[in-house]
Amino acid sequence: MDTLDAAELSPRDLNRRLKELTANGRAEVTILNPGARHNLAVGILKPCTVQFKGSVGYFAASMIDGPEVTIDGNAGWALGENMMGGRIVLTKDAGASLAASMRGGEVIVGGNAGARAGISMKGGTLVIEGNSGFLTGFMMQKGRIIVCGDIGEAVGDSMYEGTIYVGGKIGSLGNDAKLEEATEGELIEIWSVLADNGIDKKPRFRKVVSQKKLYHFDSLERLEMAAV
């Protein structure tokens, strides 16, 4: 196990050291004193574990594919932006644009999320144990967002595909979004996702999906064509 002290390194040097340490596959790295600085642990494409002892700033663990990143603290805007795979666990609150454009993997937030969580999400699972803010799932295209607490206004505005599960109150639905009851099968699946992540809650989730009136889906994607 390696330890890096972020207080002694610039973000660029810290990311370079992380890449070196994780270059040969599995590694365990603990990062001390991240001090809520930006752009930490970005672009790591190998399986490894990275643990931050403290808050991180903007774009933390963005563009990753493979690592398991744990953050004991808060995150600024765009945690896990565009991540392809791997897992991010945040113990406290996330800022705006959480997991923006994420394509795969899991992001687990122990606290609340700010505005535009899961904006333009293209796959994977985003779990928020607390509440989620304004415009959650804005223009979402794939994947699922699970919010155990309350969710703010304009949920799922202009979403194409994907599902937003809400355990608590809903501020309002966004354009072209609709509310549906989750099936028993879905509930069991979502509860098991929570249990797997150590979240001891079983809210009666409702789900927000697209009405599909805003866009016209008259052609299939390449992979969908093959399946037809």
Partner 1 sequence: MCGISGIIYKNARQNGQAPVGRDLVRMLDSLAHRGRDSSGVTIAGEDFDGDYIVRMWTDDEDRADVVLARAEEAATRAGCVVTARQSWGGYLRLIVNFEGEVRGLAEATIATDGVELHSIGRVSEVVKDVGTASVLAEKHGVGGLRGTHGIGHVRMATESKVDISHAHPFWAYPFPDVTVVHNGQLTNYHKLKRRYEDHGHRFQTGNDSEVIAVYLADKLARGDALDKALGDSLNDLDGTFTYVVSTEDGLGCAKDQWSAKPLVTMETDEVVAVASEEVALRSVFSEEIDRVEPQQREFMTWTL
Please report, as ranges, the residues that interact with partner 1 according to CB under 8 A. Answer: 35-38, 55, 57-58, 74, 76-77, 92-93, 95-96, 112, 114-116, 133-134, 152-153
Q: Which is nearer to partner 1, 93 or 129 (CB)?
A: 93
Q: Which residue, among 24, 52, 47, 26, has the nearest Cα to 37 in the 3D structure?
A: 52
Q: What distance in Å separates the CA atoms of residue 165 and residue 144, rounded to the nearest whole number?
A: 8
Q: Which is nearer to partner 1, 152 or 156 (CB)?
A: 152
**Spatial contact of 193 and 127, defined as CB atoms under 8 Å apart:** yes
**Spatial contact of 193 and 174, defined as CB atoms under 8 Å apart:** no
Least distance between partner 1 and beta carbon 204 (Å): 25
Least distance between partner 1 and beta carbon 50 (Å): 19
Sequence-ordered strand ranges (E) for 55-167: 65-71, 85-90, 106-109, 122-128, 142-147, 163-166
Q: Which is nearer to partner 1, 115 or 190 (CB)?
A: 115
Task: Give me the helices (H) in the chain, please.
Answer: 11-22, 184-196, 222-227
**Spatial contact of 97 and 81, defined as CB atoms under 8 Å apart:** yes
Least distance between partner 1 and beta carbon 220 (Å): 35
Least distance between partner 1 and beta carbon 47 (Å): 29
Q: Which is nearer to partner 1, 134 or 205 (CB)?
A: 134
Q: Which is nearer to partner 1, 22 or 55 (CB)?
A: 55
Per DSSP, the three-state class of 79 is coil
Least distance between partner 1 and beta carbon 13 (Å): 16
